[in-house]
Copies of this chain bind each other. A is one copy, B any other.
Amino acid sequence: MAKRVTKSGSKKTHAANARRTKPVSKKVARKAGSAPSGPTPKGGKMVYYFGKTRTEGGPSLKMLLGGKGANLADMTSIGLPVPPGFTITTDTCAKYYDAGKRLPTGLMNEVHKNIALLEKELGKVFGSVDNPLLVSVRSGAAVSMPGMMDTILNLGLTDAAVEGLAKATKNERFAFDAYRRLINMFGDVVMGVDHEHFEHAFDEIKRKHRAEADTDVPAEGLRELCQAYKDVYRKYVGDEFPQNPFKQLELAIEAVFKSWNADRAISYRRLAGISGLNGTAVNVQSMVYGNMGEDSGTGVAFTRNPSTGDNTFYGEFLINAQGEDVVAGIRTPKPVDEMPAWNKRVHQQLLKIKQTLEKHYKEMQDIEFTIERGTLFMLQTRTGKRTGAAAVKIACDMVKEKLIDEKTALLRIPAGDLTQLLLPSFDPTKKSIAKVLAKGLPASPGAAVGKPAFTAVEAVRRKQAGESVILVRKETSPEDVEGMHSAAGILTSTGGMTSHAAVVARGWGKCCVAGAGDIHINAEKGEFTVGGKSYGREDVISIDGSTGEVISGAVPRVEPTLSGDFAKIMKWADKYRTIGVRTNADTPADAKRGRDFGAEGIGLTRTEHMFFEGDRIKAMREMILAEVIETRERALAKLLPYQRDDFIGIFRAMDGLPVTIRLIDPPLHEFLPHEPEAQKEMAQSIGVPLEKVKQRVAQLHEMNPMLGHRGCRLCVTYPEILVMQVRAIVEAAIECVRENVKALPEIMIPLVGTKRELSLLREQVEKTIAKVKADEDFTARLDIKIGTMIEIPRAALTADEIAMHADFFSFGTNDLTQLTYGFSRDDINSFLPDYLNRDILEKDPFQSLDQSGVGQLVQMGIEKGRKAAKGLKIGICGEHGGDPASVHFCHKVGMDYVSCSPFRVPIARLAAAQAAIMGGK
């Protein structure tokens, strides 16, 4: 057990950082990153003081002082009890790198002056043998990053000062515990000494003093330990542990600067989409201690519930503990509601601070505090991360409370986070109690099903191989972020609601159950044990992030029910947005779902999916095998009624709204079986020789199907397919008119690269429409538009020519991205991870539209298209249509609408509103 605690201790530093530097929302991050605000500093001022004496910074200097530095200054200004200190600017970090990793001249001079100010304010002296000033050194960029920046605590302790501290606090054990922590952290973080070496020394001392836990070691043992740690330090650093506190400070500042470009920091910035920052600031702050006895303590809290959004003070605290103990998940903290029993005054003070903070920031805050011998200190406040549901509730509540207006409320909700509200949850009627293996904390809502993966690397690998995995870990650390990202859900056996796993998962809207202590994990064996039974890599489990349940097997999921606040947000979004939102839907059910989610039409109906069901595929295959046009037409005639009925269903579901129908797109070989067994079956079922099936499969084989005989190219060679599809559409539309349903089909011709493809096929479509109307003896007007997808680079380049023959354009940004990059989506996984790791790509361009490359073509296509055909209707139907950043882009370039999968429609509506509010058109 001692080993376990010690080992956990080894993670403390990271975990502590993780807690202190949780990510803010991407939107905020981007805003901060791209739009530095506030005045530039006068001259070369590199250090800003905050304290009762004077406070030089403030929230407007966030780019310069980092989020944490600006906040500390701000909190101090509004009268909160913040331990005084000073901030070294982010510009100084940039200067450090510009100078080839050297601290800029003059910096340490300014630091000396500020330390003197601190000494004066606190009546302590840096390195003093009587009453030494101790400080923490922390990083803090304009956008915070969990667990990426190294932190040093207790800095200022030396062999001399530790005695002073013991004297001043009258607690020798405390003083030497603080000293050994400094030597350990400083050695590890600043000088790169392997933490293991310190651990070994500690183990020895513990053995010697027969101590089981760290806390069992007496003061004397800790004094010995400090000596042992200094020996370790000398051995591995090759130098003595610095006895000059200013030397310590200088090295620590440099370590913070260096950590800005540590691999983990770079990786996090990439994953979170953060760019455009100067560097990190360094915050040097006087230390306060929550571990000075039973009248001391430490805690973290949110001004509202970050999971539900309820307007209640929500947090946890630990008595006689350092801040990192709360987040490391070693000791289980108490909820703040239980604080009055321990110290009512402090609790009242905190509730008051909650009011002050929300009135000041007009935002839900995430705070960190310490009680040193009964006195409350505020260590940090920041905008609190929250779930999508909480974001919606808090935004609505704050409008009701007149803290913010509707527009601000809309901007407060990261559009992508709505996914969490829209995601299905487990069907409670299908959740067998018998199968609940364990219950942990409901750390991040959602419902995930998958097979356990026991390391981050394993999770990444298996996800790439197409598996849905649950990352199962005792606890998580910043090293695990890639694996957490890859997992469908995260399950930990230790840690609380504010543990690393919980915080990161909530940030991403990923399902997480934390602290399920009944679960015993054996990562090496690749299994976990609970209730005497073992579960391995092949056992499917379900985890419920809203209840904390861990369930054996795959639990079926149900659709979410959307709250009144959600509806309100959507109403506001529709009020402010200027761009339309449609849905992609291939079936009447999808169409209905999209409409329920607020879609104003269908932007993409893929007709080929309709060919796969039941008898249809047989007719489809007959069509493909046909050697003469008559046989082909006969087979197509069999497909016609199916297609017509599908369209009737969709038109009914979309009564009065436009429905964009894309003609057949995939190459014909996709409809033929490739396995010998299936080919045999097909030959029998259609009644042709097996040889013929094989021949046709071989004949249709393509080296690069993506660039082959597909899209409109099929209709050029086989116009009869187009004729059948258009006939089905028109017959369906006429049928709808007859039953008083308003069908508004928009026939979309895919993969056009030249004007002539479109003009030729458009002519055929028009002829077919006329023919069907004549056949049906239908003389009323049918409102049918004919347009094309812009998904081939050449189509964008020659959009002016193509627009002459189109009633509308719809950007197919999936294929456009494939062709603009020369990336096959089917094959990209062989190098995409390397590309992301090495920063060649900032994001997967299939997730978020590449605005600088693909976006140029989109913009060109719109400009040329509209120049040639004024008022041309333009939309997007690639998967980017549901990505908030891409929706912003679509708004900016003047599209008429975006279209996305039904579940993403609300996200698109909100993102569209945010784009409209934030600017431009």
Contact = CB atoms under 8 A, between A and B. Distances in A.
A830 B711 CA distance: 13
B703 A703 contact: no
Contacts of A801: 852
Nearest to A855: B797
A821 B707 CA distance: 8
Interface stretch (A182-190, A438-446, A722-730, A749-757): A749-757
Interface string A831-847: 10011001111000000
Contacts of A706: 703-704, 706-707, 822, 824
Interface in A753-776: 753-754, 756-757, 760
A838 B838 CA distance: 47
Nearest to A700: B830
A826 B815 CA distance: 19
A455 interface: no
B793 A840 contact: no
Contacts of A709: 827, 830-831
A654 to B, nearest CB: 30
Contact of A854 (B704, B705, B794, B857): B794
A875 to B, nearest CB: 20
A62 interface: no
A798 interface: yes
Contacts of A852: 797-798, 801
A792 interface: yes
A704 B707 CA distance: 8
A840 B754 contact: yes
B705 A839 contact: no
B760 A838 contact: yes
A330 B830 CA distance: 66
A840 B756 contact: yes
B797 A856 contact: yes
Contact of A818 (B707, B815, B830): B707
Contact of A827 (B708, B756, B822, B840): B708
A668 to B, nearest CB: 10
A820 interface: yes
Given A703-B705, A835-B716, A822 B856 contact: no
A702 interface: yes
A370 to B, nearest CB: 44
Most buried by B among A707, A760, A834: A707
Contact of A793 (B702, B793, B824): B793
A850 B827 CA distance: 28
A717 interface: yes
A713 interface: yes
Contact of A820 (B716, B793, B831, B840): B793
A750 to B, nearest CB: 11
A834 B826 CA distance: 29
Contacts of A834: 716-717
Interface string A666-704: 000000000000000000000000000000000000111
B751 A707 contact: no
A552 B485 CA distance: 70
Contact of A857 (B708, B760, B797): B797
A697 to B, nearest CB: 14
A193 interface: no
A852 B716 CA distance: 22
Contacts of A871: none
B840 A760 contact: yes
A415 B841 CA distance: 44
A853 interface: yes
Contacts of A824: 702-704, 706-708
A819 interface: yes
A778 interface: no
A856 B860 CA distance: 12
A580 to B, nearest CB: 28
Interface in A795-833: 797-798, 801, 815, 818-824, 826-827, 830-831
A757 B827 contact: no
A794 B849 CA distance: 13
B815 A792 contact: no
Given A792-B821, A797-B856, A798-B852, A757 B840 contact: yes
Interface in A740-756: 751, 753-754, 756
Given A757-B840, A831-B717, A840-B757, A826 B704 contact: yes
A210 B737 CA distance: 73
Given A716-B838, A756-B840, A857-B793, A702 B827 contact: yes
Contacts of A717: 830-831, 834
Interface string A417-456: 0000000000000000000000000000000000000000
Contacts of A798: 852-853, 856
Nearest to A822: B792
A821 B794 contact: yes
Contacts of A821: 753, 792, 794
A850 to B, nearest CB: 8
B703 A827 contact: yes
A791 B820 CA distance: 10
B820 A797 contact: yes
A854 B797 CA distance: 8
A827 B707 contact: yes
Contacts of A818: 707
A831 B757 CA distance: 12
Given A793-B819, A794-B853, A835-B716, A704 B756 contact: no
Contacts of A753: 820-823, 853
A856 B818 CA distance: 19
Contacts of A757: 840
Contact of A815 (B822, B831, B841, B854): B822
Contact of A819 (B756, B819, B827, B831): B819
Nearest to A755: B840
A820 B794 contact: yes
Contacts of A854: 794
Contacts of A716: 831, 834-835, 838, 840
18 contacts: A702-B826, A703-B705, A706-B707, A707-B707, A707-B818, A708-B824, A713-B831, A717-B831, A717-B834, A753-B820, A754-B841, A754-B853, A756-B840, A792-B821, A792-B822, A793-B819, A798-B856, A819-B819
Given A793-B820, A819-B822, 4 more contacts: A708-B830, A754-B840, A754-B841, A754-B853
The 8 closest A-B pairs by CB, nearest first: A707-B824, A704-B824, A703-B826, A794-B853, A708-B827, A709-B830, A704-B706, A702-B827
